[in-house]
Amino acid sequence: MFKGSIVAIVTPFSTQGAKSMVDEKKLKELIEFQIKNGSSGIVPCGTTGESATLSFEEHERVIEITVAQVKKRVPVIAGTGSNSTAEAIMLTRHAAKAGADASLQVSPYYNRPTQKGLYEHFKAVADAVDIPLILYNIASRTGVNIEPETIAKLAADCKNIVGVKEASGNLEQMSRIKALCPANFELISGDDGLTLPVLSIGGIGVISVVANIAPLDVANLVSEFGKGNVKKAQELHYKLLPLVKAMFIETNPIPVKTALGLLGMCEPDLRLPMCAMSPDNLEKLKKALHNYGLLK
């Protein structure tokens, strides 16, 4: 069900007076842009969507808008994880009620739970809802790694835990996940620069940041690999690589949000503690967009 290029979509903001608000019109436009350009799924309220600085009301509203705008054309995988199990259950129940096709569950951040704590957390969320859950392993942000053995136990014990977005950067760990989990358990790349290697070890796609600005190329990379056109997939991988690097010269989503602003697709507004790019990095970003052919 979940494969291909799945975009971790930004949350566009507009400023009215001193107040930052979700720009619902721009969000709908960005969703249409993604669907028209080959993205096979939408993830609202992920890391790239600045979920950490959305109020509960905004978080729920963004998911509702996304579901309504997508109209079942592609899956909506709502980011509803939290470092509070009760909050994760609350947000996931809302996403299920709103019509999301699945939920993306980041490992609890800051708390630094044990592997047993991680297991109990994800199992509690899985037991509370019927929709599929995709785990999100990104220790660089959360401070804790979900070990392959923990993922395998969750996959065995919870029928609705169906995959993992792996952003550890560790291909050996990802290979162990594939070896330990059921054959239908989905391994999804969480790093744009590793999409092709992850596909080569049995991954089924990517939850992508760079797809916000280059959706067709990311979608084609995955589809060409799936057709057996490895050389073409490699060409797209190397074409995308400088752009991917530019998307992470500062903390995500600062560069991609800035890029969307430069391309006139939405305002580049960020919420503190995210802030505007340094002048040097802004010039590097502009150069990367120009070299890719996105910015004149």
Question: 277 lies in a domain?
Answer: no
Question: 248 lies in a domain?
Answer: no
Residue 76 near residue 67, CB atoms below 8 Å: yes
Residue 237 near residue 206, CB atoms below 8 Å: no
Question: 251 lies in a domain?
Answer: no
Question: 261 lies in a domain?
Answer: no
Sign of the four-CA dihedral 77, 78, 82, 88: negative
How far apart CA 223 and CA 203 sit, in angstroms, is 12
Residue 136 annotated as catalytic? yes
Q: Per residue in 217-263, pLDDT tens?
A: 999 999 999 999 999 999 999 999 999 999 999 999 999 999 999 99
Stated as kind and residue range, the H or E segment containing 165 is strand 161-166
Q: Print the domain residue range for 104.
A: 4-227
Question: 281 lies in a domain?
Answer: no
Predicted pLDDT of residue 1? 74
Total structural domains in the chain? 1
β-pair partners for 20: 15
User: Which of these is catalytic: 3, 26, 153, 165?
Assistant: 165
Question: 198 lies in a domain?
Answer: yes
Closest CA to 2 of 138, 166, 251, 187: 187
Predicted pLDDT of residue 94? 98
Question: 98 lies in a domain?
Answer: yes
Backbone angles phi, psi at 42, to 5 degrees: -125, 130
The residues, ordered by sequence, that sit 6+ positions from 22 with a Cβ below 8 Å of its Cβ are 11, 12, 13, 14, 54, 58, 61, 62
Q: Burial letters for 80-111: b for 16+ Cβ neighbours within 10 Å, e otherwise?
A: bbbbebeebbbbbbbbbebbbbbbbbbbbbeb
Q: Per residue in 33-88, pLDDT tens?
A: 999 999 999 999 999 999 999 999 999 999 999 999 999 999 999 999 999 999 99
Using DSSP's 3-state secondary structure scheme, residue 166 falls into strand
Question: Which pTM does this prediction carry?
Answer: 0.96
How far apart CA 206 and CA 193 sit, in angstroms, is 10
Q: What are the tokens at 230?
A: 């490895």
What's the CATH number where 99 sits?
3.20.20.70
How far apart CA 268 and CA 109 sit, in angstroms, is 26
Q: Per residue in 170-197, pLDDT tens?
A: 999 999 999 999 999 999 999 999 999 9
User: Which of these is catalytic: 136, 153, 257, 292?
Assistant: 136
Question: 30 lies in a domain?
Answer: yes
Q: Per residue in 137-169, pLDDT tens?
A: 999 999 999 999 999 999 999 999 999 999 999
